[in-house]
Structure 1
Amino acid sequence: DEERGKSGMARLFEHLMYQGSKHSPGDNHVKLLEGVGASAIGGTAAFDYTSYFACVPKNEIELALWLEADRMAWVMDVAEPSKIEEQRKIIAAERRRLVDDRPYAAAREALWQAIFPADHPYRAGLLGASAELDKLALADVQTFFDRHYSPANATLVISGDITVEDARKLADKYFRSIPKAAVPSKRTVPMPTLGAEVRVDLEDRLAQLTVVTVAFFAPPAFQNGSADIEVLAHLLGDGNASRLHQALVVDGKLAQSVRAGVVATANVSVVELEVKVRPGVNPDDVLNAIQAQLALLQDLPPSTEELARAVAAFEARRLSSLQRPLGRAELLQTYRLFAGDAGFLPKDLARYRAVTPDSVLAAVNGFLTKERRAVAVVRPAGAAPKEPAPAPASEVPSAAPATTKEGG
């Protein structure tokens, strides 16, 4: 919900929230919490939300709530241009550390800029565009605060040894006095699509190996078809038993490693297949092998055993997050934000259990097709002329994974 041309505001504000508020100046917020034994104090800015969290002793929950309420209401009372400039410099340093000085990071940024429309809020990434961040003034920050930082636009999750009744009383005690604000209108943009293949080729001065990344748009988080996409990505590239690892690393000797993942957001999900290419192998051979594996799913769909292992992995991840209070709070927050129901866990697990071989094939045919893919090929600086010519498609290995059809 950042205004167009003012990307990076959410990240800037995440930092600013730890620079003091009206009744808790300077770095008192962290000092006071640490002084009573709090842990996991932090914040994070994601594509669809910003969250702040802390694990505190039971008898200090009121301190944590008072601090949160104070900065939600009055952080801008102590904001100054010098603080904005200081945080801007910190974010610039983050960009150098996370993008400029990290191998392959700039390639992902370039890929997202190539596939998202110019007016899409995800295009600038989580750190925002440097040129836009440099132009943000105190008035811009105040406008963002007035629009977004109020109880009407926030979700409070309290997880631990406390009753619902007591939690409601404490929330009312500390947040009711904050001046009311209207619920901000949500910026709506259509889910992006690709009508033809997009390709980005670039060199990276920090890269040691060529890396091929293939990306596809898919349904948003928790929407119809999203569980099928997540299971499909798991089958393709999560672990040494995955299909792409077996075909490209073990059998084809085309790659050193394979990774698959899904970046799930409220507007769209992005499936990413990342392959570190063996020296001397042409990236186009890797692309052909990936496409061959996707085509192979038509003849060799995932078996019941494959699906069962994948579903068990997702269930284990969900349930393991319930072991810690912070993990429970994060899961409740995620469900509330994306599914509109903090108690969505049973329905969430049911989504994965409902995945079938046919629904996985529907996901492949609906979203992971060649004409809908985006490709980024990142080579070490100066390596482009050394790449050999691609092998004919008929010679590209397309070894099947060590699974068979049911009954085969």
Structure 2
Amino acid sequence: MRLCFSRLSFLVALAALVWLAGCQGAPGNKTGETPKGKIQQAATEVRFEKFTLPNGLQVVLHEDHSDPIVAIDLAVHVGSARELPHRTGFAHLFEHLLFLDSENLGYGGLDEMNTRIGGEGTNGFTTNDMTQYFQAVPKDGLEKIIWAEADKIGWFINTVTQPVIDNERQVVKNEKRQRVDNQPYGHRWYIIGKALYPEDHPYNWQVIGSLADLDAATLKDVQDFYKKWYVPNNVTVTLSGDFDPVQAKALLRKYFGEIPRGADVKPMAPRPSGLKQTKSLYYEDNFATVPELGLVWPTVEQYNKDAYALDILASYLGDGKKAPFNQVLIDEDKVTTSLSIFTDHNELAGEFYILIDAPEGKDIDTLTRSIDKAFQRFEQTGIPQKDLDMLKTGAEVDFYDNLQSALGKAIQLGQYNTFTGDPGFINTDLKNIQSVTREDVMRVYKTYIKNRPHIITSIVPKGHPELAREGAKLAPIIEEKIVQGAEKEIVIDHSKRDFKRTPSSFDRTKEPPFGPAFDLPAPKVWRDNAQNGLKLYGIENRETPLVYFDLRIDAGMNRGHTDKPAVASMAADMLLRGTRDKDRAAFEDAMDLIGADISVGTGQEAVSISGSVLARNFDKAMDLVAEMILKPRWDKEEFDLLKEEAKNTLVSGAGDPAVVAGRLWPTILYPSADHPYHYTLSGTKAKLEGVGLADLQAFHKANYTPKGAYLLIAGAIDKDGVKTGLSRLGADWQGEKNPDIHLPLSKTPDQAKVYFYDIPGAKQSILLMGAPALSGVDPDLP
């Protein structure tokens, strides 16, 4: 897996690992409200307390005293699925509006307050079925965030005027142009939704809605939507973190308790797609440079027993070297280098997806035989028990990984309560995955996939309809016509607060004070060296049974050559493609068996080998890292595949305006073609052609040394355990420190400059603005 990172000091990087090695909560308080709350504890120790206020607001409390942080999540049970035809996009519009203003916070007050009190920032998202708003702050800001979030629910709607709606509508339009209209394959989800679900089905339209519907929205429409859905009996408030539950409940009663209950909200029953026959559609995409085939089957709603087996099926078919689709389409038939298989289960229905890129200029029909072959291979053997067990181990790691922060748990507990009525389903979810059998996986394949009606999409480059699936019909896409100056400028004086005030039993206009001051705990960082000189920095944290690690090696782009800039990143990528003792499939199996997730990333000044593993298997994970470094396989077929993937990435990105802007940026900061930072990781297509396997081997031999490298560890392991686990890496990996490199810095221009790059047919402009900053070794850097 490729990632890019800027140079970080080891303390900053270690702090990131500490955050990841976060927290599992302590028991909640034993008191409750109506109905009487009680502590609930599952085997996984995710404890919570749930109670309901008289106005119907459901509250979930999760104590987590590992860090002086408190997070709050508002989960509103309304998404695009609860909209009406011809009034779409309202749920997403509300997500925007609620961040703008409220009677007592004031315009922009939510973000301003969060920043001022040291919060992590405010955020939110809208799905088909719910909208969530959340933030996390130091624990002395507890009352402040409860006050602020209550203001959004009970003291918001009077600040909304028609000009406010008109202005935010333009913001939403711009978001659609950015995420849909101006992206390769951006209309994919619209095509699928319209084809898969009948017109009156709530999943027929997209969350962002129709621009025509948004244009027609009136103030009354917005007020009616708010009164129907943004009521306390349709909201779950989750508090997670370091707080006193007695105080928290008193504050929640104070600030949320007097918001009037709304009309009862009727639950929505699952509603399958009802697709009766296969449909094949195509679309000519202005930004696509290679054809994309999509196959979509209707399945079941979230938390349905079959949903878990379908998740396993998707992972087995498409993840890893041994996956049937990768074996057939990539390794054997070589008809693609890029495919993904995944599921999407929602409250009312679900889908099973296969997305495959065809090579540049190739007909999508060339994929058909290979797809059939891959399915036939699966049918012959099903999923082996060993592979099923490995996927379950991965699910266990993912489960613990999602418990690493107070904010993450607040969001998850809110979601589970919204959809199941039980926050404790956070524990049941993992058990349901672990109960899936081989027979379940084959059964859901035969029930929902094999010979079942589905949607076929062919998204092809503009002007090449002949590359679409034979017999496909043109998809009915409504494209916005961009007219310069058509949008009216909307001027709003936010200093005028002439709305009608919503009554309250106390003065809400004053922001609450901070809670008691506290001493910020500093994690105890231990330092040591392995016997080969590798520097070690660690923090012991036993709140989840995971260990996170990040090995930084001085082998970044700065060590490469400008005639072949891709060498550094390709040499790193090859480390995950097998060792002398294990081919790629066997190496992936070895990781999966111990619950390890290892990735490799290349930056300008370093390579990072990072990941996580169950603590009990740390030594085995480090043995695998040692194998990667000491015994890379340098398999010629894997190298050829990696090179082809890099070429196809360059081709496919050439149609994405945001990617194009990102590729041009380093050429502006470092205009000399003799500077390694002039290039992106893969360099140019012409320079990539000249890269050979021998180049990667030579780069690895010259630059992968423990001297100058350092390993960061955070998690459920002490220093002695780390050093024991590093016995092989610390003893067998030898080498001297690389010579220092001093590259020219990017020069600050004498005056501001503007660069233009034309993307024909673009619906929106991409703006990048910046200037050279201090280098990582500048004495003025804090």
1:284: how far off?
2.3
- Extract unaligned runs of 5+ from structure 1: 391-400, 404-408
- Aligned residue for 2:156, secondary structure, equals helix
* AA aligned opposite 2:163: S
Q: In the alignment, does 2:100 pair up with 1:19?
A: yes
Matching residue of 2:388: 307
Q: In the alignment, does 2:86 pair up with 1:10?
A: no
Per-residue CA distance 1:151-172 (angstroms, 9 max, x = gap): 1110011111124444322221
Per-residue CA distance 1:320-353 (angstroms, 9 max, x = gap): 0101111111221222123321112332111111
Give the percent of matched residue pairs that are identical in Structure 1 and Structure 2: 26
* AA aligned opposite 2:433: Y
Of 208, 215, 228, the residue aligned with 1:134 is: 215
Q: In the alignment, does 2:260 pair up with 1:190?
A: no
Matching residue of 2:368: 287
374-383 or 134-143, which deviates more: 374-383
1:389: how far off?
8.8
TM-score normalized by the length of structure 1: 0.91
Matching residue of 1:260: 341
Matching residue of 1:103: 184
Matching residue of 1:224: 305
320-329 or 378-387, which deviates more: 378-387
- Extract unaligned runs of 5+ from structure 2: 1-81, 472-583, 587-782
Matching residue of 2:281: 200
- Aligned residue for 1:190, secondary structure, equals coil
User: Cα gap change, 1:327/1:63 in structure 2, threshold over 3 Å: closer, same or farther?
Assistant: same
Instruction: Give distance in 2, aligned partners of 1:331 and 1:243.
Output: 33
CA contact (8 A) 2:282 2:469 kept: no
- Aligned residue for 1:158, secondary structure, equals strand
Instruction: Give distance in 2, aligned partners of 1:300 and 1:8.
Output: 45
User: Cα gap change, 1:152/1:35 in structure 2, threshold over 3 Å: closer, same or farther?
Assistant: same
Per-residue CA distance 1:166-208 (angstroms, 9 max, x = gap): 4322221210011222232245562213221111111111001
Of 120, 125, 136, the residue aligned with 1:55 is: 136
Instruction: Give distance in 2, aligned partners of 1:23 and 1:3.
Output: 31
Q: In the alignment, does 2:249 pair up with 1:168?
A: yes
Instruction: Give distance in 2, aligned partners of 1:66 and 1:241.
Output: 53
Of 431, 455, 470, the residue aligned with 1:350 is: 431
CA contact (8 A) 1:291 1:370 kept: no
Q: In the alignment, does 2:121 pair up with 1:31?
A: no
1:99: how far off?
0.4
Instruction: Give distance in 2, aligned partners of 1:93 and 1:353.
Output: 43
Per-residue CA distance 1:280-327 (angstroms, 9 max, x = gap): 543223234223322332211111111112222222222101011111
* AA aligned opposite 2:344: V
Q: 1:369-384 alignment to 2 at 5 Å?
A: 369-384=450-465
Instruction: Give distance in 1, aligned partners of 2:333 and 2:413.
Output: 43
Matching residue of 1:367: 448
- Aligned residue for 2:341, secondary structure, equals strand
1:47: how far off?
0.8
CA contact (8 A) 1:254 1:281 kept: no
- Aligned residue for 1:212, secondary structure, equals strand
Matching residue of 1:155: 236
* AA aligned opposite 2:355: E
- Aligned residue for 2:337, secondary structure, equals strand
User: Cα gap change, 1:5/1:385 in structure 2, threshold over 3 Å: closer, same or farther?
Assistant: closer
* AA aligned opposite 1:30: D
State the Cα RMSD in Å.
2.1
* AA aligned opposite 1:8: G
Over 4 Å off, 4+ runs: 386-390
* AA aligned opposite 2:154: A
Matching residue of 2:54: none
* AA aligned opposite 2:207: L
Between structure 1 and structure 2, the one with the greater Rg is 2
- Aligned residue for 1:215, secondary structure, equals strand
196-205 or 236-245, which deviates more: 236-245
* Higher RCO structure, 1 or 2 (CA under 8 Å, sep 6+): 1
Q: Count matched residues.
A: 393
85-94 or 342-351, which deviates more: 342-351
Q: In the alignment, does 2:328 pair up with 1:247?
A: yes
TM-score normalized by the length of structure 2: 0.49
